[in-house]
A and B are shown apart, each in its own frame.
Chain A
């Protein structure tokens, strides 16, 4: 029956936009639900509304530059897969690197056949199966384990949390140097990293001298934007 009424394949078919919109609306509803819940909880345990409001502002500003980079990923993948599929994959769990690798690995060239399109979508989705379900199974146990560590030894609990974040930051520090073997162009990410680091150091200095606390709010987003902007002339010089 479905076969008889099958629509002509179009990777940008309006119906695909509708489906993706519905899925993303549910995801946004989840975000709003947790936002409202966390905000109310914050107020209830005595956190200042000003702090909570500022957190929302900071998170929003912080997100702009990386989100535009994700949009670039959608544009890049849209030639091959149309807009709805990359829009969905990069809006929900997934990443540009995985989606690109998965799409390229299974099918080279632009997708123009419904079966190939659905199969590519399936491969892109299946790679995220563990990321989708494992946190649902292990999330509670991991969080409870952390709480026990903190209760047992508060001092070590603090070090533990900082060590987690620093482990991640150290890995990305190494990653930035992961292209140096290819010659001058491999140093571009390193220089961008250093520009961003320098801007952050200057922001810290400025904060110390002027005591302008608002600098704290915008320092990291500012570093990201300056670092990204610096990548253009640096690439012209070394690329």
Chain B
């Protein structure tokens, strides 16, 4: 048999390993209900299941939208890991974004891919540890965690998280932020007054994240074409702003020359396949 001489790059291997781990994890996660059925000699109550079909369909649609929305933000490794460990919008995506920003790396680059993957991996491990600890100590923690006076704190994680983030990212990219922010405020405020409660907001957010992304992309593209984004306050200001404030930027820039030399883009049809010596990658992967 002819030996396959085409060596896989690091990026190719990321996708390969990501898919393998993803399938293994998905099969295990899916097996839980069936294992329970086997252990307890139970079946499926189709009447009960039918009540959940609309919910399943809705969340499958949300899952599809989330895939196309979050995959570009998380990078290859981050995507495969993030979609297995979950809690994307309330933890993994903000965590990856914060770490990329703090490290002063340019989003979409290989450095950003490394930082994003590390951030999501560590976040997943720490979450697991906290949950394990919580489950072990649940009888002690339940009175504290279910304490009514503390409930507002746990109900408001998202506003607390996005308040801090919004200041940083909107101030740095105010030009491309104006249109989506105004639109989203209008949508949520008007819908809230129409319904008279916040019940709709929880459902709307699943739809509005991709809508916000599309609106921001389209409006940014228009502004970019018109030449409005080259000054400070446009999206490109972020890179320089991050360089000014990021504590890690100096450390990274020390290595930049070496890194740039090490990551040539050799094949335009396969943008990452030419990275840093495929043979070396292959050898390292084998190790």
Contact = CB atoms under 8 A, between A and B. Distances in A.
A45 B21 CA distance: 25
B204 A105 contact: no
Contacts of A194: 163
B41 A114 contact: yes
Interface residues on B, range: 35 or more
B251 A164 contact: no
A62 B157 CA distance: 12
B279 interface: no
Contacts of A229: 153
Contacts of A132: 22, 25-26, 29-30, 63, 83-84
Interface of A, secondary structure class, is helix
A87 B134 CA distance: 10
Interface in A64-99: 64-72, 74-76, 78, 83, 85, 87-88, 90-95, 97-98
Nearest to B65: A130
Contacts of A209: none
A216 interface: yes
B176 interface: yes
Interface in B153-201: 153-170, 173, 176-177, 180-181, 183-189, 191-198, 200-201
A30 B25 contact: yes
Contacts of B91: 63, 66-67, 70
B185 A177 contact: yes
A188 B152 contact: yes
Contacts of B40: 6-9, 114, 117-118
B262 A106 contact: no
Interface in B97-133: 97-99, 102-103, 106-108, 110-111, 113-115, 117-128, 130-132
B4 interface: no
B154 A155 contact: no
B103 A175 contact: no
Contacts of B94: 62, 220
13 contacts: A23-B28, A54-B103, A55-B119, A59-B123, A62-B123, A63-B123, A74-B135, A75-B134, A118-B42, A131-B59, A132-B26, A139-B18, A190-B159
